[in-house]
Amino acid sequence: MSAHALDQEPDDLARAARAGLVREIDSSGAWERDPVWREAFEAVPRHLFVPYYYVGTVGAVGGFERLWGGDPDPRNREQWLRGAYADAPLATRVRDGELLSSSSQPSLMAKMLTELAVADGNAVLEIGAGTGYNAALLAHRLGDALVTTVDLDPEITESARRHLAAAGHHPAVVTGDGARGVPERAPFDRIIATCTLTSVPHGWLPQCTPGARILAPLATGLIALRVRDRAHAEGRFLHTAAYFVPLRGGGTRPEQEPPHLGGLPPRVRSDDLFRFLLTLTAGTLEPHEAYALWEREGRPVRERYGITVSGERVWAWLDDPEGPYAWPLP
């Protein structure tokens, strides 16, 4: 496409790029169980939520190159626009060469929204506002009044609010500690987190309706919990791998130092499912203990693990909440 064509038809290019993204997510099967999400991804313009982002480039300052929609070079603007609709995560905040936050891969977002299993009339709390794109998809499906998104960083919530308004959506955007939920907007029928947890925050369950569903990244997986009441919830991990920035705020623990894996076979050290077990049991099992269990139990997949919340106790388990393999979470 020529630079002149881009200047004259940016909306057409955006629509075509968005349609291509929807086809790519279609082929992944992410929303097969709930194709209504297809309409949301067709309607919500992702580029409005990533007015700039960073791509890794050799030789660029800090290893990243900034692409933005206001670039005076039309070729760069076209690259930015096409990249905004790639089925890939986009780095949106970089400081001193370190990645601080990103816009998630759209097909993973579609998978998570489908697994959230929303119904018309559900009130949803999103933990981690990010760019606002996920909140916009929820608002398109459910309506602004039923969607709340919260983030600890006021710069993030302010930019998310602007992006949402530019896309025509005005859900509640709250600056606060996501680990504490948003009690003034409760009760919620669904909670979805777009940041990695180390446990299930105790403040969430009292803000849920009975039967509510919580979907959150934890230990490089996605845990889906069903809330029984204000003190009890239980569920299993999905098969999907998930890597997000950690939840910040009260009720979270510092990131663990990577375990020393020397002495284990190379194939084990790099195995995704073994590292999932190591992360899930951090502080409870030593690597050699985790390895012995992993081999003894046939190298279990993520779906065999689960989490139970009962009052003040939160624990992870393999196969059975009351079985022999259980590990406390903080």
Predicted pLDDT at 260: 66
Q: What is the mean pLDDT of residues 259-285?
A: 88
pLDDT surpasses 90 at 60:
no
Predicted pLDDT at 103: 92
Indicate the residue type of 308. Answer: T
Q: What is the mean pLDDT of residues 126-155?
A: 97
Predicted pLDDT at 3: 46
Q: Is residue 37 within 8 Å of 141, Cβ to Cβ? A: yes
Q: What is the mean pLDDT of residues 142-154?
A: 97
Model confidence at 56, pLDDT cuts 50, 70, 90, reads confident
Model confidence at 246, pLDDT cuts 50, 70, 90, reads confident
Q: How far apart are CA 286 and CA 135, in angstroms?
A: 39
Indicate the residue type of 13. Answer: L
What share of the chain in percent tops pLDDT 90? 79
Q: What is the mean pLDDT of residues 119-125?
A: 97
Q: What is the mean pLDDT of residues 243-272?
A: 73
pLDDT surpasses 70 at 8:
no
pLDDT surpasses 90 at 228:
yes
Q: What is the mean pLDDT of residues 87-93?
A: 92
Predicted pLDDT at 245: 84
Q: With left for phi above 0 and alpha for psi between -120 and 50, is residue 139 left, alpha or beta?
A: alpha
- Helix count and strand count (H, E) for the chain: 10, 14
Tokens of 111: 């998978």
Give the pTM: 0.92
Active-site residues, by number, are 101
Model confidence at 242, pLDDT cuts 50, 70, 90, reads very high
pLDDT surpasses 60 at 150:
yes
Q: What is the mean pLDDT of residues 231-242?
A: 96
- CB-CB neighbours of 289 under 10 Å: 11
